[in-house]
Structure 1
Amino acid sequence: MASEPKTNLREYCRSLLLKEKQDREDNNILPSECAIIDILLARQLEMACVYEELYGKLSGNELAIKMALSVIVSCATFWRPEHLKEVRERKKELCEVNQTIEKLASELAMELAHRSHLNEVARLWSDTTDDICELIERASCDNQHFQMFLKEDLMYLGSRFDTKYWPSLESIVMAISRDADGAEIITKDNLTAAALVSNRPSNADFLRALYRGFDNHFLSHGGGLPDGFRLSDAAMASVMNCALNLRPDQLIDAEYVKGLRQRDREKIKI
């Protein structure tokens, strides 16, 4: 393709990005995405190969090109390395919290069982309740939904069936312990799942999320991108260099992307 069409494509994609930015500013939303758009605009020469591929592979379909650019902007905004670092820290924190809950709940279950035993054999009585319905009612004193819709039915069941029909407090707490012990940390969206497929954080997390972002917008998934749409390794490298605003000493190339694809092909099918 000659230089003039390439220049026209840069201007064409620039106009689409400017329109997207204007829409966000007019609606006073997503300023972080506007910042990414500004970065792409500032590095439009490096993005030229990307624009050329988008136009060619999407047959000049404006809606599809806009969608692909939107995916790039969104992934660079919400799945950039610093954000994913925070997600990894939260994942580690969740694991530690579950370990703590498992330990404390197990200890509490044993203490509850011990108290029940003493109440049965000692000539004393701890002025506490083991009535699960009563405890639920106490815990829900400020819950208007419970008060309006559940309390009457629960109290009826509690009066009809005595404590032998209900789980003991220690068994409930032990169930909480087992639940925490067996808990798996699950991501809420498949882009984050793809980005975190490696335990070791890197800029490659963004590329993984971007591949999955394209997948989510295939025609078969209700989007506007043709099924199987992919940018070349060189174009993906340019996207990452520009969207993450990498410095000259941080730039990656097509070989880096190719290596990533080969390593992750089975894990996330890219």
Structure 2
Amino acid sequence: MEDDPVKNYEKAVAECESFLKADFAYNSERGIWPSTNRVITRMLGTRHDLGKAYQELYEQLHSHPQALESFLDMLVFLPVGWSPEKAVKARQDREELVLINRQIASLASQLAGLLSRRAELQETSGFSSETHYHVLDVLKDAAEHNHHFSLYVEDELDALHNQYDLKYWPTLSDYVEALAADALRAKVFADNPVTAAATDSRKPGLSDFLRAYYSKIEEHSVAGGGLIPATFRLSDAALASLLNCVLDLGPDRLMTAESVKRFRQGERSRRSR
């Protein structure tokens, strides 16, 4: 019978696994995405744990062309980019970028002061060191090995250099001071919604991955230009079992339906403040 729960269960598992096997074969034949294939291997090896989640996926997505495939493809790639360890690394990168901008601001400001003092000494002391004094001279030296510059830009730049004397150009110290000011006012932000979501909380943890998951769902939704319908909702238990598998979490770190529910409630509370 069409509504036989056993047959429906078996059909859902077979359909989901067929997509996973096709992805695995595609990657293997081309020698690409070995990390993704490791995720697929885990999923294919834990059918008993994932069967109910597959059934939910199939029931909600099989009537939407390619939506089930889109979801599974997103799911197996998600830990490649946003495992908890990679979320920690992303936070470290963000902190380093903030620190580097501060260092650039400080060092560039110091350099600007030195350049200004050098120019003053060369104009008033009776000594010279035959160093650069024009920003375009620095630019030409910096582009010495860039053949695109020499072929397409250098002649026009030389013409401007000859057309306008030094008073029309910033001094070297002005130029470097602008770099200092730019670094000082820099604001570090995520380049995409998934990165923003996965690094949003102050402390790293599995909540990072859940935020990345929900952000990816939004990105792959019909409203976001994808294929997953707005009505799609996995149960907390199904989501926990899928994420436990793709992340290969040990027994002491497993997500549960209750922990996923607490996360969702916490996110709603946080957004409403």
In the superposition, the TM-score normalised over structure 2's length comes to: 0.91
Superposed CA RMSD: 2.0
- Residues 212-251 of structure 1 correspond to what in structure 2 (within 5 A)? 212-227=215-230, 229-251=232-254
Q: How many residue pairs end up in the alignment? A: 269
CA displacement 1:199-243 (0-9 Å, x = unmatched): 211122111111111111122333211135332222221222111
CA displacement 1:79-124 (0-9 Å, x = unmatched): 1112222222222222222222111111001111111222222222
How many angstroms does 1:267 deviate by? 6.8
How many angstroms does 1:157 deviate by? 0.5
- Residues 67-216 of structure 1 correspond to what in structure 2 (within 5 A)? 67-216=70-219
After TM superposition, the structure 1 stretch with the greater mean CA deviation from structure 2, 105-114 or 38-47, is 38-47
Partners of 1:165 and 1:194 in 2: CA distance: 47
Q: Is the 8 A contact 2:84 2:206 kept in 1?
A: yes
Q: Is the 8 A contact 1:191 1:209 kept in 2?
A: yes
Helix, strand or coil: the match of 1:248?
A: coil
How many angstroms does 1:54 deviate by? 1.0
Partners of 1:261 and 1:163 in 2: CA distance: 62
Go from structure 1 to structure 2 and tell me whether the alpha carbon gap of 1:56 and 1:67 turns closer, same or farther (over 3 Å shift): same
Go from structure 1 to structure 2 and tell me whether the alpha carbon gap of 1:228 and 1:174 turns closer, same or farther (over 3 Å shift): farther
Residue 264 of structure 1 corresponds to which residue in structure 2? 267
Determine if the alignment matches structure 1 residue 254 to structure 2 residue 273.
Answer: no
Residue 37 of structure 1 corresponds to which residue in structure 2? 40
Helix, strand or coil: the match of 1:47?
A: helix
Partners of 2:253 and 2:21 in 1: CA distance: 27
Partners of 1:74 and 1:266 in 2: CA distance: 29
Partners of 2:238 and 2:106 in 1: CA distance: 50
Go from structure 1 to structure 2 and tell me whether the alpha carbon gap of 1:188 and 1:4 turns closer, same or farther (over 3 Å shift): same
Partners of 2:120 and 2:212 in 1: CA distance: 55
Go from structure 1 to structure 2 and tell me whether the alpha carbon gap of 1:215 and 1:135 turns closer, same or farther (over 3 Å shift): same
Partners of 1:18 and 1:156 in 2: CA distance: 63
Partners of 2:180 and 2:108 in 1: CA distance: 5
Partners of 2:185 and 2:15 in 1: CA distance: 53
Partners of 1:212 and 1:3 in 2: CA distance: 33
One-letter amino acid of the structure 1 residue matched with residue 91 of structure 2: R
After TM superposition, the structure 1 stretch with the greater mean CA deviation from structure 2, 85-94 or 135-144, is 85-94
Partners of 1:23 and 1:119 in 2: CA distance: 67
Partners of 2:183 and 2:233 in 1: CA distance: 40
One-letter amino acid of the structure 2 residue matched with residue 109 of structure 1: A
Q: Is the 8 A contact 1:21 1:34 kept in 2?
A: yes
Partners of 2:241 and 2:200 in 1: CA distance: 22
Identical columns (%): 34
CA displacement 1:161-189 (0-9 Å, x = unmatched): 11111111111111111211222223333
CA displacement 1:54-79 (0-9 Å, x = unmatched): 11222444611111111111112221
Partners of 1:266 and 1:64 in 2: CA distance: 30
How many angstroms does 1:266 deviate by? 7.5
Question: Aligned match of 2:16 in 13, 18, 22?
Answer: 13
After TM superposition, the structure 1 stretch with the greater mean CA deviation from structure 2, 192-201 or 30-39, is 192-201
Structure 2 residues without counterparts, runs of 5 or longer: none
One-letter amino acid of the structure 1 residue matched with residue 244 of structure 2: N
After TM superposition, the structure 1 stretch with the greater mean CA deviation from structure 2, 27-36 or 2-11, is 2-11
Structure 1 residues without counterparts, runs of 5 or longer: none
Q: Is the 8 A contact 1:76 1:244 kept in 2?
A: yes
